[in-house]
Every structure is written in structure tokens, then in C-alpha cells.
Structure 1
Amino acid sequence: MKSTVYTLFLETKLDLLSALRTPSFAVPALAFPVLLYLFFGIFMVQDRPQDSVEISTYTMVNYMVFGLMAPSLFNFGAHIAQERESGWLELKLISPMPATYYLFAKCLSAVTFTLSISMLLFLFAGSLGNVKLELFQWVLLLLLAVVGTVPFCLLGLILGLKYSAKAASAITNLVFLPMAMLSGLWLPIFLMPTFMQQFAWVLPSYHLSQLGLASVGLGQGYSALFHLFALFLMSTIFLFTAVALYKKRGVS
């Protein structure tokens, strides 16, 4: 048991160091959601004191979801594609360490980014946005962020296994940005044309956002169980698709 935990710790540490030594990935991943929140969730609503706190809370949840998407998708998508083509993934797989350790460590690395982004957002929301939540609500949001990282890691794994290193980065962006927009993370979906609103129902980011908003009293009235089931169903589909691609690549 101790050796398993220590191996996972070392593998996660190596993956985090690799990410942090790539400023073009680490800096935007950490800074982008925080800067967007400061601009749209705090500074832009200061002239609307009557509902500024509600807007700050609403945007905090949405940018938390937006923030966890990038580390999960890119750490698995573009990075795994690069490691696969460079031979690093093959070296990992022929080592005594089980392949699941490699994938789980990458997931823990993405979760570390998620927690860092979430805590930064919470700090600015509480200090500058006057967002006041109960302790259990802050904890629940953190738990949602951690669990919500999983479907995006699986989706990123699919992209990383299916596409080449050059294509994976572009395609991950092609998935990431429209998903954020169509989920209502930047603009409430009720402000979008009706036909665009329908896309939100098949996006994990939308359901995770709705669970987060419901936990702070800003839900749109849909059942939390429905959103949980939708996330579970999508994660299951992503998992089976990733396993099929994993085997197709000749990995056992």
C-alpha cells in the first residue's frame, strides 16, 4: 500500500513538474480563468451594487468549471499525444509500473491545477466580490470541481489517443472553446439563440455548472439528480471509448 501511494506521488510530482516547466501551458491555465473572473465577475459589475454579489457568485462558479476544463483536456489530450509519438508513453507502459498509475497520476496532476484555480477564484470572490457562502457550500464546490475533472480527463484521453501530436492540440482547442461557450460559462445560455441552447444538454461542462450553481442557490430549477446522471452517463461513454482506443493502439 505504501509503495503504491509513493509511486503515485512520484509520478504525479513528475507530471506536475513537467507542466510547470512549460510556462506556455501552466501560466495561461492558472491565470486565464482568474483574470476573466476579475474582469467580468468583479470589476464589470461594480456599478450594479444591487445585484453585484449574485453576479460575482454566478460567474465564480462558471469560471471554476471553465478553469478545470483546460488542465484536464490539455494534460490528457495534447500531452499524451506528444508522449505517445515521442515514445515516452511506450517506455512507461513497458516499465514495471502499471499503466493505470500513469493515467491516475495525470488525473491527480489535473486535479491539483483544478484546486489551485478554484482556491484563487474563491479568494478573489470573497475578498473583492463580497461573495459569502456557508462553509459546506465552499467545500461542496471544491468536491464538485474535483469530481468534475474526471469526464474532461477522459475526453482528453480520447483526443490524445486518437490524434497525432500536431493535430491533438488544435482539436483540443476546437473542443474546449466551443464547449465553454455553448455551456453558458461565458454568457448565460438563455441569451443565446434557441437552437444554440440545445447543445448545452449534451455537454458535461453545462451539467457541472448547473450542479455548482444549484449548490449556491442559483440553479435553474432542474433536478440535481438529472445533472448527476448526465455527468455519469457521459463519463461512462468517454471511459469505454478511451478503453477501446487504448486497446486499438496495441496497449494492454
Structure 2
Amino acid sequence: MNAFKMQCTAEIKRVLRNRYFVFWSLLMPIVFYYIFTNVVNTKAPDQDAWNAHYLMSMTVFSVMGSSIMTLGIRLVQEKAQGWSTYMRITPLSDTVYFAAQMVGQSVIHILSVVVIFTAGALINGVSLSAFEWVMSGLWILLGSIPFLAFGTLIGLMKKVETAAGISNIIYMVLAVAGGLWMPIDVMPKLMKNIAQWLPSYHFGNGVWEISNGSLPGWKDIVILVAYLAVFMLLSKYIRRKQEAA
């Protein structure tokens, strides 16, 4: 347990020192939020509701990117530097190592949620009930777990450049196609149908429902859990194949 706590603490410190994380996970979502709620005329019938909706979208966008890119690329870097090989000869098991990575990243997600929620309240005066703020934050933290699992999958790649390029593309496609940049209602029918099966859409939809005073639907939960299972199984299978090679 002490080894697990120490590893989690080390991961948190390392992420906070990463300028890449600060830009992609904190600064960029806030800039996008300001632009799409104060500069671009979206012609939203209810501006207050749109401000709250897009605040949740950008928070999800931030946490999803942190899970996929920050975690995934860091794991590849550690492998390239021989750190993961060194860890195998220590008493720390692979399970504890990866769990500490995910827990450390989740603690960072709390910072992201607090910072972006605060920005929304200050920039546009977004006002939700205490229950809605807390439930939105909890949903985002729990909903990020499948993307953390996907981050460990990215972390199995051999080259940092490859991992960075692929994770960037996947991240942006999931964000746009999942309705985080613009509602899927304004997309073509084909895009709407695709979005219904993407984890990013259901990640966002759950928190949109909460900010509207409802609760996430069963489909949002089932699809996110299904993706979590797939990503974990793939990650475990590929890791075993690599160790056996």
C-alpha cells in the first residue's frame, strides 16, 4: 500500500510539471469555451443553458485528452527510456504500476474539473445547484476511466512520435464526432448515427443530462463500461504478447 501511495504521488508531481498537460488540458479548453460562448454567435435560444452545456463539453474534452494523450504518451516515454523495464525488477507489480498511473492521472483530473468549472462561473456566470456541480464532477471523473484504459493502450506503442500522432488524431476525432465541439443535432444524419456509438458522446451526454437537471441514461453507462472492458482486455493481451516476444 505504501508503494502504491508513493507511486501515485510521484505520478501527480510529474504531470503537474508537464507543460504539454497545462496547455492541452487546462488552457486550450478554457480558450475554446470563451470563443464559442462569447465570440462566435451560436444563435442559441437559451444562452445560459448553452453556456452550461458547453462548459461541460470543454471539461469532458480536457479530461478525455488528459487520459488519452498525457497518460499514453508518458507511458511510451517511460518505455523508451527503459523505466518500465527497470520497474519489472522492483517489488512493484505491473498491476500496481498501471493502477498508480491511472489514479495519479485521476487526481489531476480533479484539478482540471475545478479549474474549468471555475472559469465557466467567472467568464459567463454559469450557475448550477450544488448537487449538479458535484454530480457533474463525479460523472466526469468516473466517465474518464475508459479513456484512462485507452491511454494505457496508447502507452504500449514503441515510439513516442507514433503515439503522439495517433493519440492526437483519435482525440480530435472523438471530440468532434462525439459532439464536444458542436451538438450532434447540427451534424448530418450519418454523423449522428456514428456518434451514438462513440464513448466520447456518451461521456458528454451523461454530464449534459446532469447539468439539465436529469441523470445519465442507462445507455451512457452501458456503453462506457463496454468500452472500458474492451480497452482493458486489449491492453492486457497486447502487453502479454510484447512480454513474450
TM-score, normalised relative to structure 2 = 0.91
The one of 175, 179, 185 aligned to 1:190: 185
Which residue of 132, 151, 155 corresponds with 1:156?
Answer: 151
1:72 corresponds to which of 67, 72, 82: 67
For residue 56 of structure 1, the aligned residue among 36, 51, 67 is 51
Stretches of structure 2 that go unaligned for 5 or more consecutive residues are none
**Alpha-carbon distance in 1 for matches of 2:175, 2:41:** 25
> Would you say the 8 A contact 2:210–2:216 is kept in 1?
no
Taking a change above 3 Å as real, the CA distance of residues 33 and 113 of structure 1, as seen in their structure-2 partners, is: farther
Instruction: State the match for 2:240 in structure 1.
Output: 247
Deviates most, 226-235 or 91-100: 91-100
Cα 1:169–1:158 shift into 2, 3 Å:
same
Query: 2:233 aligned with 1:237, yes or no?
Result: no
Number of residue pairs matched by the alignment: 244
1:129 aligned to which of 115, 124, 127: 124
**1:33 maps to 2:29:** yes
Question: What's the secondary structure of 1:71's corresponding residue?
Answer: helix
Residue 36 (structure 1) shift: 1.3
Q: Deviation per CA, 1:70-116, whole angstroms, max 9, x where unpaired?
A: 11112332111121122101111221012222212211222122211
Residue type of the partner of 2:33? Y
Q: Secondary structure at the match of 1:184?
A: coil
What is the identity, as a one-letter code, of the residue corresponding to 1:246?
A: R
After superposition, the C-alpha distances for 1:142-175 in whole angstroms (9 at most, x for unaligned) are: 1111111211111111122144222111110011
Q: 2: CA distance between counterparts of 1:18 and 1:223?
A: 33
How far the C-alpha of 1:197 sits from its partner, in A, is 1.9
Letter of the aligned partner of 1:194 in structure 2? K
Change (3 A) 1:223 1:136: closer
Question: For the residues of structure 2 that align with 1:68 and 1:212, how far apart are their CA atoms?
Answer: 13
- 3-state SS of the aligned residue for 2:73? helix
Aligned equivalent of 1:212, options 191, 207, 215: 207
Cα contact 2:146–2:228 (8 A) shared by 1: yes
* Structure 1 residue 108 corresponds to structure 2 residue 103: yes
Q: Distance in 1 between matches of 2:44 and 2:242?
A: 56
Please name the residue that 2:14 is paired with.
18
**TM-score normalized by structure 1?**
0.88
SS of the residue 1:131 aligns to: coil
Is residue 80–residue 158 contact of structure 2 (8 Å, CA) maintained in 1? no
What one-letter code is carried by the residue in structure 1 that aligns with 2:131?
F
Identify which range, 207-216 or 112-121, moves more after superposition.
112-121
CA RMSD, 1 decimal = 2.3
Structure 1: segments with no counterpart, 5+ residues: none
1:58/1:218 contact within 8 Å kept = no
Q: Does 1:226 align with 2:219?
A: yes
Could you tell me how far 1:217 is from its partner in structure 2?
A: 1.6
- Deviation, 1:218, is 7.2
Q: Distance in 1 between matches of 2:113 and 2:142?
A: 13
Letter in 2 for 1:15: E
Change beyond 3 A, Cα 1:162–1:48: closer
| Equivalent position amino acid for 1:231 in 2 | L
Matched residue type, 1:225: W
